[in-house]
A and B are shown apart, each in its own frame.
Chain A
């Protein structure tokens, strides 16, 4: 039986996103990756650091994946388009640490606070794992 490989989308091409992309390609997943910069430049980096992963836009990563990993810095989370991941299975790899994310007024709790993804009543619809 030949199953389609799982399509993994990774949003965020930093230390975590790029490393995960490499490991996922090695595990024979179909990997799409997006970052905050230019897609061409990301493709250039991916050819060296995670060969086999396809660099594309965040919109396409969200549309074309079975599972989406959120690997952007926490303080960038709100720059993603609202509703982008509606109905998706999302793996949330973000954590709030005040020392690196700055003091965010609506997250007064201490470091290590889960992101809005895993909070009940999140405006986004879908399944989330952390």
Chain B
């Protein structure tokens, strides 16, 4: 912006200078031509006097290149006027012009009319002198002046342009360098940063925001890359187990019992793989923000009861009780499939780490426009140093690196992923020796702008969401 303003000012100044140069030219021309005219008139005025002096009817010596014609009233060319002119009324200039000659020269030609008084031989009459003098000197002067002024104008313009270009280029150098840096950034070079300090102060905040954005992207990309690498590992290991087992088994003839055992083992591995693939797909789906079309107003209490009933069988096998401490009839706007997945995962997790005879509490309430969900167990608790890691994908409490005992290590990761996608979050509080509480906070109403459209769609979506809700990853 500054650059454009500076350029506009510079070029306006140049235009003013050009105008001045043109003015100077015309004023000078006017003056020079007027002087020439005066001299021509003076010479023309001298003619009759010369004529009077010369008895031969000649006009004496004219300045070089000068010529004249004298005509009488009738337009007839006469040799010379009768009588002396200089004593009579001043001549009237009736015409002045430049005349181009056949030989390329130019003449300034002035027509003067004289009123001649009556004399002894003539009655009162008028005569006209057309006096011409070479205009070469004036032309030459004006030409040199035009060249000089034109040169000054054009040269000044070029100089201004060059200076403006140079100055703006120098001023824009950091911007250009910044643009070059940005141009080189792709997903493998997200560690590059713009040198904010080298930029003009007005651009610095922009560069700093840009660097912050790059840092976020870099972090996000690194996480995704890690997740992908972890996923590859998680998928490859069971595949390797199946492949190796089948290959080794098939290398020799085996008894039917051995073959059956190989099939059983492979089947359970394939089932594990299927659960892993399902969980990964669910994660990929949950990685995007929920759209209004997927959300609907539901009876949250009923959904929680459903999840708790599902987990009851798992719990009773471990002599753990699931205690419901939520009121019936809590209604809220949410994503039923994701909510069910979160609650199921949290309950399965809590039951898993609960000692026999203890209970798991499932609590829910609406507060400040949010669904507050708590799953509390009386298990051994989680040491503070591993607490930040438990939401990481493929984290397993036993420190193992593979899903050998059916733990995918994706449960809590999915819970958090879902919560974030719904605009909420999942937190954990744990005391070693007394238990762990997972808290999920979710918005309970649609965003204001989307609420109308959402209300319209609600009924239509309810059916679709329920159909989708039939598949939930459990106990991962």
Bound together: no
**B residues within 8 Å of A by Cβ?**
none
